[in-house]
Amino acid sequence: MAAGETKEAIWHGGDLATAKALFPQAPKPWIDLSTGINPIPYPLPELPLSLWQRLPGKTDEAALLAAARKAYRIRPQSGLVAAPGTQILIELLPRLVPAAKVAVLGPTYGEHAPAWRKAGATVREIGDLAEIGDANVVVLVNPNNPDGRVVPQETLVELAAALAARGGFLVVDEAFADFVPKMSLLPILPEGAVVLRSFGKAYGLAGLRLGFAVGEARCIDALQAMLGPWAVAGPALHVGAVALDDADWLSKAGEARAADSTRLDTLLTPHGRVVGGTVLYRLLQTPQAPALFERLGRAGIYVRRFQHDPSRLRFGLPGDEAAWPRLAQALMSD
């Protein structure tokens, strides 16, 4: 297979079919560590057939939004909209700022910059917030994917005010903030900031498609208008409402995944330097990264590599006991 054919998919990760095509001889089952999705999902509640049959009702949506407000500690004055995943919000947000000048704090999740470019914005990737220049929109992921870097709240509050004065806003993607709630900007959300929250990662249900945007009513109303009614499926509304109301599960899941990530670090450190991450993924730096990617792939283990830095690999957490020794063995066998 020519490298170019699957390039986009490989660099994105998360699509195991691509890994299978790259390593057709790999032993099964595949161990997919290419995402930052919690491998131990929130237990699906019973889903009455009516959730599938009828259009999602206002009552179901209200229950979800109330649970989200409580779980994410959203200020009463902040607007909140639910969407079928955060990705579509990433696509639609740029439609709110014509000809935006955007600075994306990178390296980070690869979908932000292209979404703004598609909408006609000028986009620069910056490595430090000191470099925002004349940008009227700044996008950052907090904590960052893949390196876990955290920008402090005070910095974000100042930045939001500066961008609001320029007619733009600050986008803070908190896709991985569930297990570090203290760092969320939501309880003190200032004017000029829009926060994105993903349901699927911490709750291990990415296929459900559920995400949120929080911000000023003007901005949130415009997103809601583009999504229209019933954008979120009935089952997703229900699962989201139940799960977001379950603070106990989240707390225990956070402890368990922290233990898993410590265990993962122990496996990884002989092979390079763990330079960052969150409790859902760890970032390994080593000159051997390309060879390690190949070795793991041939052993049926799919990890995330990066176009911008071939010396790094991101490891999600194994989801069952059988996966751990397979990972340990594949790492050692060089």
Interface residues with a second copy (CB under 8 A) are 9, 14-18, 32, 35, 37, 39, 41, 44, 49-59, 84-85, 87-88, 90-92, 95, 111, 115, 118, 200, 204-209, 225-236
C-alpha 46/C-alpha 43 separation (Å) is 9
**Least distance between a second copy and beta carbon 84 (Å):** 4
**Least distance between a second copy and beta carbon 96 (Å):** 12
Nearer Cβ to a second copy (159/202): 202
**Least distance between a second copy and beta carbon 132 (Å):** 25
Q: Where are the beta strands (DSSP E) in 162-221?
A: 169-173, 193-198, 211-215
C-alpha 149/C-alpha 88 separation (Å) is 24
Nearer Cβ to a second copy (90/163): 90
Residue given tokens 């063995």 in the structure block: 329
* Count of beta carbons in the 10 Å neighbourhood of residue 52: 10
Name the phi and psi angles at 305, rounded to 5: -110, 170
**Least distance between a second copy and beta carbon 229 (Å):** 6
Residues 6+ apart with CB under 8 A from 220: 78, 79, 80, 81, 213, 214
Nearer Cβ to a second copy (165/225): 225
C-alpha neighbours within 13 Å on the C-beta side of residue 174 = 27
Nearer Cβ to a second copy (9/129): 9
Nearer Cβ to a second copy (199/293): 199
**Least distance between a second copy and beta carbon 37 (Å):** 7
